[in-house]
C-alpha cells in the first residue's frame, strides 16, 4: 500500500484540501502563495508528513483544533512546533496516556468491518503506543496566519473540549470546526465546556463572519453554513426528558443523547448531541 492509497484527498475549494484517513478522520491543508497551513494530524498511524510533501513544497505551519489523539496523534511526525490552545496541552497528555484504550477500540472497529484497515503495512504498534513528547506554542484567539494572498484566522470555540479552536479561511469563507460543528457533538467529557458557553460563542462566530461552508473533522466533504443553525437549535432543545442514555464505547461513561432531525442538508439526516447527565 502506498500513502496514496492510504490517504484520500479532496480539494474542497482551490488550495483547500481535506485529507482523509481510513480510521474515519480528516485533517485540512490550506495553501497560500508563500506558506501552507496544516490543521490537525490525524492519529498518526501512517506517515502523514511524506504524504503532505506530495501535495505541497511550501513551508508548513501546524495547528491542532484540539488535543485528542485522532487530531494531534500525528504531530510527532513533523519537526514543526504546533500551535494549540494552552488548555489542550493537558488534553494531549491525557490522550497520549489513553492510547491503551483508544487503539484497541480502533482495532475492534476494524475487526467488525466498521472501518477499512486503519494501519499501514509498516505500522509499528509498540512504537506507536509510546508517549510522544511534542512541542506546542500557544494559539491566541483571533491570531491570523498570513499564507500569502490568503489569511486564516484562529477562533476560540470552547465546546467539545474547553480549548477547541475553529479556523476561518477568509478566501473561501470556510469554517473548519474540528469536532464542534458536524454530524455529532460530544460535549460529555471532563474537558468539555458547557452547552451554554458553546452556543454563545458559536452564535457570535456565525454572526461575525461570512461563512460559506463548514468543514468538520469527521466528514470528508463540507456542509452548507446552515448546519451551524441546526447545531445551535439542537443544543437549545437538549432536555433529559427527550434524550436517551448514551454509554461511551471506550470508557463506559454515561451521558445523555439528543437526536436532532435534519431535513435539508444532503447526506445528513440527524445531528447527535451527547451531553452530561447533569448540566454544569
> Where do contacts with Zn ion occur on this chain (CB under 5 A)?
68, 179
Nearer to Zn ion, 88 or 179 (CB): 179
Alpha helices in the chain (DSSP H): 3-6, 48-55, 69-72, 88-97, 99-111, 125-129, 195-208, 226-236
Closest distance between Zn ion and the C-beta of residue 198, in Å?
Answer: 14
* CB closer to Zn ion, 49 vs 68: 68
CB of 179 vs Zn ion, minimal distance in Å? 4
Comparing CB distances to Zn ion, the nearer of 180 and 213 is: 180
Closest CB to Zn ion among residues 88, 169:
88
From 35, 15, 17, select the one nearest 27 (Cα to Cα).
Answer: 17
Nearer to Zn ion, 21 or 179 (CB): 179
Q: CB-wise, 168 or 189, nearer to Zn ion?
A: 189
CB of 68 to Zn ion, least distance (A): 4
Rounded Cα distance, 178 and 185, in Å: 10
The residue assigned the cell 452547552 is 195
Is there a contact between 255 and 248 (Cβ–Cβ < 8 Å)?
yes
Residue closer to Zn ion (CB basis): 18 or 31: 18
Catalogue the long-range contacts made by 143-149 (C-beta closer than 8 Å, 24 or more residues apart). 143/83, 145/35, 145/37, 145/61, 145/63, 146/32, 146/34, 146/35, 147/30, 147/31, 147/32, 147/33, 147/34, 147/35, 147/36, 147/37, 148/32, 148/33, 148/34, 148/35, 149/32, 149/33
Closest approach, Cβ 70 to Zn ion, in A, equals 6
| Residues sharing a CB contact under 8 Å with residue 43, sequence separation 6 or more, in sequence order | 21, 23, 25, 69, 70, 73, 74, 106, 118
Contact 44, 54 (CB under 8 A): no
Q: Are 187 and 273 in contact (CB under 8 A)?
A: yes
Q: Minimum Å distance from CB 66 to Zn ion?
A: 6
Closer Cβ to Zn ion, 147 or 167, answer by number: 167
Q: Which residues contact 170 (CB under 8 A, 6 or more apart)?
A: 150, 151, 152, 153
Residue of minimal Cβ distance to Zn ion: 68
Amino acid at each position: 500500500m502506498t500513502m496514496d492509497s492510504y490517504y484520500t484527498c479532496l480539494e474542497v475549494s482551490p488550495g483547500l484540501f481535506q485529507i482523509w484517513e481510513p480510521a474515519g478522520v480528516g485533517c485540512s491543508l490550506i495553501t497560500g502563495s508563500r506558506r501552507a497551513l496544516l490543521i490537525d494530524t490525524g492519529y498518526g498511524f501512517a506517515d502523514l508528513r511524506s504524504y503532505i510533501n506530495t501535495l505541497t513544497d511550501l513551508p508548513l505551519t501546524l495547528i491542532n483544533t484540539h488535543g485528542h489523539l485522532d487530531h494531534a496523534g500525528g504531530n510527532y511526525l513533523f519537526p514543526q512546533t504546533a500551535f494549540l490552545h494552552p488548555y489542550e496541552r493537558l488534553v494531549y497528555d491525557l490522550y497520549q496516556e489513553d492510547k491503551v484504550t483508544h487503539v484497541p477500540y480502533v482495532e475492534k472497529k476494524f475487526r467488525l468491518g466498521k472501518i477499512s484497515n486503519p494501519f499501514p503495512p509498516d505500522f509499528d504498534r509498540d512504537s506507536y503506543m509510546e508517549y510522544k513528547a511534542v512541542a506546542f506554542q500557544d494559539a491566541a484567539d483571533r491570531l491570523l496566519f498570513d499564507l500569502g494572498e490568503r489569511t486564516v484566522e484562529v477562533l476560540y470555540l470552547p465546546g467539545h473540549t474547553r480549548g477547541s479552536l475553529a479556523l476561518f479561511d477568509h478566501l473561501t469563507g470556510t469554517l473548519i470546526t474540528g469536532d464542534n460543528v458536524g454530524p455529532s457533538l460530544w460535549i460529555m467529557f471532563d474537558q468539555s465546556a458547557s452547552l451554554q458557553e458553546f452556543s454563545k460563542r458559536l452564535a457570535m462566530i456565525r454572526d461575525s463572519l461570512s461563512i460559506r461552508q463548514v468543514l468538520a473533522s469527521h466528514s470528508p466533504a463540507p456542509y452548507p453554513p446552515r448546519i451551524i443553525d441546526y447545531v445551535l437549535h439542537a443544543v437549545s432543545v437538549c432536555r433529559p426528558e427527550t434524550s436517551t442514555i448514551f454509554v461511551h464505547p471506550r470508557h463506559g461513561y454515561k451521558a445523555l443523547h439528543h437526536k436532532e432531525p435534519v431535513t435539508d442538508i444532503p447526506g445528513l439526516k440527524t445531528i447527535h448531541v451527547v451531553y452530561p447527565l447533569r448540566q454544569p
